Structure 1
Amino acid sequence: MYRSMFPSDVFAEMDRLQRAMQQAFELSPNIRGVGRGGFPALNVGGTPNSVEVYAFAPGLDPQSIQIQLEKSTLSIAGERKSDEPAADQKTAIHIDERFAGPFRRVISLPDDIDNEAVSATYRDGVLHVSVKRRQAAAPRRITIE
């Protein structure tokens, strides 16, 4: 009987490895495109009056999150403490998928934002940062005499 040296679904394993490699080289998301991976997960969008950033970071103390806006760059940084039990000879961890440790996400924002009009709230594990846009001169119609 024939016995393969490879896993039964080698193509699925190759696909998984390719996705992992792509995620390792992706940059932080900006207003023009969203990357995958990273903590906290981000949603970035906008309205005609503001840019809205949602960071999904459950279990964090809002006081431990630092938000900084410099020119057109928004950075969100902090640290998530580990919930793992103390290491001893009787403790075994079989799967550890929850991120723990320091994090930093940087988002490029459009040039028309107002650095003085920024607000941030944290509720139910979601950090919401709203950055207002500068009011541009409204277009007006000029009549010909």
Structure 2
Amino acid sequence: MNVEVKQIEELMSQARKVMKNSYSPYSKFPVGAALLTVDNQVFTGVNIENVSFGVTNCAERSAIFTAVSTGYRPGFIKAIAVAGDTETFLSPCSVCRQVMVEFCKPDTPVYLTRKDGEIFTTTLEELVPFAFEKLDM
């Protein structure tokens, strides 16, 4: 997918900005995500924790689920950015990666950042090389 540098920077800026809305009283680890749709709409999300960590929702899934709730369907994501204040690049968890497999194409760019602001570019296929993509019945 062709994403312009300006779009990448804006997407990451929105992911960083939305981090302030994170509800992370237990981990104290705010995460923000922003996704760009194929029709150039942007949806953001944050991690939302619960005292029962199993029902916590990550930023990436929050952004994807918000877009899906407005009518988007698989293949709608042009790019996704993930931001956190970490020393290393903050990568999506495995649950988020599987949700991304459902709604992104394998070549969808995934932009990761760390606290110094540097952006690392990868793809969904690189993050999930042996993706579980369909049910074989």
Structures share a fold, TM > 0.5?
Answer: no
* Higher fraction of strand: 1
Q: Which has the larger radius of gyration?
A: 1
TM-score, normalization by structure 2: 0.27
* Higher fraction of helix: 2
